[in-house]
Amino acid sequence: MTTIPHLVLNTRMTTFSDSAATALNLITSLDAGLLTIVGRSLSVSASASAIACALGLVLGAWLGVARFAGRGVALTVLNTFLAVPSVVVGLVIYLLLSRTGPLGYLGWLFSFKAMVLAQAVLVLPVVTALTRQAVEDAQSLHGEQLQSLGAPPLLRSLLLAWDERYALLTVMIASFGRAVSEVGAVMIVGGNIDGFTRVMTTAIALETSKGDLPLALGLGLILLSVVLALNALIALLRRWRETREAGAPSAALVGVSV
């Protein structure tokens, strides 16, 4: 049997354009199922990022200033964790939370909390490593002056982190972006249960395998929009910082040009 190439292409284009149209319709009609998944996804990632940032900012700042035996090993381990695949994190958390695991008594497996924990563990090294780098750079440039004023190491690390707050805001936003876009860990520990632990990325994977491309594409578009919004936020923060440091009037912050 022979196939006619342009007909195959047309069929594919139709499938894609139909899916895109249905996806836009789902988004604009504020489909309840879609919104529930989006809301859950954002709240899981926001909670995980908040936990990771609370720990990672302090730990990273301290690592940026503290000098102790074995620091080099600690930094190597930290940098290695940056590259750990999310499915491996998911697997480890699964083993910890499974009924026979050390944290099995919590009963968190296949729950919102398990997904938050998995994403927090995944994002923590990112926040810690980037904070450590920012604070260590600041320490090498200015740490001695704070030391001469009498700031002990821990306080110095916190002051330097505060002074690098605009760079660290970018780190926080990037950590949320990493959390919201990962799929492996939440799939394993959340189980992708409809109406309970289904989030955007796991829903996209499932709906694609089922052939429900419009929903998958709709979720994909929303995920892209979230990442786009985060990038825009980072760019705005950078601009806001530059404007503040130049001592310009605040009108410039909202893009008012004369």
Partner 1 sequence: MGEVTLPLFAVEEMSVQFGTPQRGVRALHGVDLRIHAGERVALVGANGCGKSTLLRVLHGLVTPTQGQVSRPVAGAQAMLFQKPYLMRMSVLANVALGLWLRGTPWQQAKAQAMAALGRVGLADLAGRNARALSGGQQQRVAMARAWALNPQVLLLDEPTASLDPHAKREVEALMHEFAVQRSGMTLIFASHNLGQVKRLASRAIYLEHGQVLADLPVDDFFSGPLLQQRYPAAHFFVKGETL
Q: Which residues bind partner 1 (CB under 8 A)?
A: 141-142, 144-151, 155, 159, 162-163, 165-166, 244-247
From 202, 228, 229, 219, select the one nearest 33 (Cα to Cα): 219
From 105, 111, 126, select the one nearest 188 (Cα to Cα): 111
Q: How far is the CB of 133 from partner 1 (least distance, A)?
A: 18
Residue 112's Cα: distance from chain center in Å? 16
Cβ burial of 189 (10 Å; 0-12, 13-18, 19+) is buried
Neighbours of 115 (CB within 10 A): 31
Instruction: Round to whole Å and give the CA distance between 114 and 188.
Output: 10
Q: How far is the CB of 132 from partner 1 (least distance, A)?
A: 19
Q: How far is the CB of 67 from partner 1 (least distance, A)?
A: 12
What is the Cα gyration radius of the chain? 23
Q: How far is the CB of 74 from partner 1 (least distance, A)?
A: 22
Instruction: Round to whole Å and give the CA distance between 156 and 162.
Output: 10
Choose between 113 and 165: whose C-beta lies nearer to partner 1. 165
Instruction: Round to whole Å and give the CA distance between 224 and 29.
Output: 18
Q: How far is the CB of 100 from partner 1 (least distance, A)?
A: 51
